[in-house]
Amino acid sequence: RSVEHAYSQEGGLAVLYGNIALDGCVVKTAGVDESIHVFEGNAKIFESQDSAVRGILADEVKAGDIVIIRYEGPKGGPGMQEMLYPTSYLKSKGLGKDCALLTDGRFSGGTSGLSIGHASPEAAAG
């Protein structure tokens, strides 16, 4: 596809910075519904992907929550496993457009929703 016929002028990814990700994090903007470009919510913190999945399936996560999954980065994981399960389960619970997900882990190209990954510094770095 040529630049003149690009899907978006900004591209499909953005690097964000803030108090949780001082060194930055990555969001796939192409997969985020415009209605949640600005998102505020209560943090639900999980120490692994497995505990996040258990929490989502047990209905501990509600609309408006921000699911934070720590210790899934290169050191903490180790190995940065793909965070597909939490996003899939949020969608299956009807929360895909009502929750955000932030992790120091990584996402695949098929991820949708407000899924922010590669948060740095990662939790295992202190």
The answer to whether 108 is a known catalytic residue is: yes
Q: Check pLDDT > 80 for residue 87.
A: yes
Note whether 71 and 83 are within 8 A (CB). no
Secondary structure of the chain in the HEC alphabet? CCHHHCCCCCCCCEEECCCCCCCEEEECHHHCCHHHCCCCCEEEEECCHHHHHHHHHCCCCCCCEEEEECCCCCCCCCCCCECHHHHHHHHHCCCCCCCEEEECCECCCCCCCEEEEEEECCHHHC
**Cβ-Cβ contacts under 8 Å for 95 (sequence gap 6 or more):** 56, 61, 62, 63
Query: What pLDDT is stored for residue 112 in this prediction?
Result: 81
Write out the residue range of the structural domain in which residue 115 sits: 3-125
Q: How large is the average pLDDT for residues 57-74? A: 97
Please state whether the predicted TM-score (pTM) of the whole model is above 0.85: yes
Query: What pLDDT is stored for residue 111 in this prediction?
Result: 81
Query: Catalytic: which of 108, 112, 115, 120?
Result: 108
Alpha carbons 5 and 66: distance in angstroms, whole number: 35
For the chain, the domain total comes to 1
| CATH code, domain with 66 | 3.50.30.80
Query: What pLDDT is stored for residue 26 in this prediction?
Result: 95
